[in-house]
Amino acid sequence: MERAKKSIILIVVMYCLAFVHSAKGQSEAGETKAEAELRQVALFKNGLGFFVYEVTCPKKSDSFSFVPCAAASHGSFWVSYPPKVELEGLTAREVDMEEMVEAVTVGELLRANVGRKVSVVFDDEQIIGVIKHFADERKGPKPESYGPGGAEMARVNYTGASLGQSRLVIIETDKGEVCIDPHSVKKVEFPGGKAEKRFARKKKSMQVGVKLGGPAGGKKLTVSYLAKGITWAPSYIVDITEGDEARISAKAAVINEVCDLDDVTVQLITGFPNLQFADIVSPLAKKENLGQFLSALAKGQSEVERRGVMYNVAMQRAGAFEEMGAAAAMPAYGAAEAGKVAEDLFLYPVEDVKLSKGEVGYLPLFTESVPYKHIYKWEIPDYVNEEDRYLYGRREQEREAVEEVWHCLRMENKTKVPWTTAPAEIVKEGLILGQDTLNYTAAEGETTVKITQAVGVKAEQVELEIERKRDAARLYGNHYDLVTVEGKLSVRNFQQKAITLEITKTLSGEVKSSEPEAKIESLARGLRRMNAVRELTWRVELGAGERKELNYLYEVYVRR
């Protein structure tokens, strides 16, 4: 009998030791968190970033976890590791995390001071004791879409309040425990000390658990993914104060709504990548359930994105010079970095960027001198629409025929980097002259930006019908007249300087003549129309006060 008792005691002791050892192992495994350091992020201009992390494996553990800073796009989350590291798998799971917040209600103040003595006053009663318990918010049941039984619906308690709202505080008094509703408290006092104003609030997050074949001894994993929440907005300023060269400066506004950047290399991407699944959140992000993910795949956009939960992309803005009492100085950011070409994308590097979540960074990029020249542009549209209807008469009836001639800059990109599409502000002697969109321009390329409307250059134009052959053609049941049209252009320079005027006329039909002779190009648009589309270009030199006339003649099929 005595032996049996000893055996039972031994078994119980061994079981307890095994349980303690097991619990300790689980605790350590749960507490092992790897250090994840953001090394690089490449920014697109549409609110997407490509994040690259280094995760340091614990020296003595083969299981650990880390928390990504953003919800990865579908198919973009990848982990790479050294040859001698054996990765068995990863697990994404939803976890509760704590954040310290400031109390803003009496109830939250009671939560922040659990364990302290307190005096609580109601309308006609006072309770003095120690706060022993503040109930956590109760979460509603998750829908079990694929489990047995009916769907679980959200409920409301008998007071009419939401089920998740905490309304229970237990205070231990000299007479026993008292349960109160924190919403009914009128006044709170803390005898003998100041109240703690901050408390830990739980929030939902996700965690990636990593399982290795054995301890990796401090080796590093590389984690990369595409995610929303960060973007860059470029802009330029062009100073034409000096001679034949313009000083162009570029900057980037980085809008960061995803995570802190601490000495991170930022790559500013210029180009148009094909990111087919960028709007679909990866299942590893734990943002959507199975049904939502499948629906997103079918619709090509995340359910979360449609609900507006994902990060917004801030709009680009460009400011003007402020009144400073003197000419504003051009930025001097230095020459452009060489950057890196990756197929059809260009990556502009900015080293050691520090930018906290919620901040907008101003990153100077470069200041360089580039050749430029003044050019005046007059663009005349086509008056034949896609239905082969001639609309010149309607144009005359709808508004006065005031022609717009624009004073422009034509610049050559002699820097080492392409210019991306962005606002461009033009200044001279510290004064703003205008702002336009500078379109993408490759290195050694050429671009034109508008400065202002040239009111000192007057332009007039008219088109006259010279001949008409009725019912000259039939196509798909439609009848067409063949009309001969003569166009007359007149330009006069009222300025006290010579200018170069570039005139572009788009028309439908067959050009018969032009005087002076124009450069003629056939455009690809309108291939399904009756008439081909042509573009005529003249380059005219106009002296101060000089006037010139130009003519062109063409035939066009006009639908009756």
Q: Which residues contact 299 (CB under 8 A, 6 or more apart)?
A: none
Q: In a structure prediction context, what are the per-residue pLDDT tens digits for the chain, which is 560 residues long?
A: 454 444 433 333 333 433 333 333 333 345 488 888 899 999 988 889 999 999 988 888 889 988 888 888 898 899 988 888 888 888 888 887 778 889 888 888 888 889 899 999 988 889 999 999 988 877 666 666 666 665 555 444 444 444 446 789 999 999 899 998 888 888 899 987 888 889 888 877 788 889 998 888 888 899 999 999 999 999 999 999 987 899 999 999 999 999 999 999 999 988 767 788 888 888 888 888 787 788 888 877 654 444 443 333 233 323 332 333 333 454 554 454 444 555 456 678 889 999 999 999 999 988 999 999 999 999 999 999 888 888 876 555 445 567 899 999 999 999 888 898 999 999 999 899 999 999 999 889 999 999 999 999 999 999 999 999 999 998 888 899 999 999 999 999 999 999 999 999 999 999 999 999 999 999 887 667 888 999 999 999 999 999 999 999 999 999 98
Residue ranges per domain, the chain? 1-31, 104-196, 370-559
Reduced DSSP (H G I as helix, E B as strand, rest coil) percent helix, strand, coil of the chain, to 5: 10, 50, 40
Give me the count of residues in the chain: 560
Question: Dihedral sign, CA of 274, 277, 278, 284?
Answer: negative
Report, in angstroms and rounded to the nearest whole number, the Rg of the chain calculated over CA atoms: 36
Q: Which fold has domain 104-196?
A: SH3 type barrels. (2.30.30)
Which of these, 235, 234, 233, 240, lies nearest to 432 by C-alpha position? 240
Cα–Cα distance measured from residue 64 to residue 56, given in angstroms and rounded to the nearest whole number = 10
- Three-state DSSP at 352 gives strand
Cα–Cα distance measured from residue 506 to residue 503, given in angstroms and rounded to the nearest whole number = 10
The Cα-based distances of 50 to 39, 227, 300, 328, 478 in angstroms read 11, 7, 20, 37, 55
Run of H or E residues at 27:
helix 2-31
Cα–Cα distance measured from residue 556 to residue 506, given in angstroms and rounded to the nearest whole number = 13
Residue 496, both tokens: 């006290």
The b-or-e profile of 218-247 (16+ CB within 10 A means b, else e) is: eebbebbbbbbbbbbbbbbbbbbeeeeebb
Cα–Cα distance measured from residue 176 to residue 117, given in angstroms and rounded to the nearest whole number = 14
Give the pLDDT confidence score for residue 146 in this predicted structure. Answer: 64
Scanning the structure block, which residue is given the tokens 């970095």?
A: 337
Q: Identify whether the C-beta of residue 462 lies closer than 8 Å to the C-beta of residue 455.
A: no
- The DSSP bridge partners found for residue 423 are 437
Q: How far is CA 391 from the centre of its chain?
A: 41
Strands (E), 240-356: 245-256, 261-270, 340-342, 345-355
pTM of the model: 0.71
Cα–Cα distance measured from residue 488 to residue 392, given in angstroms and rounded to the nearest whole number = 13
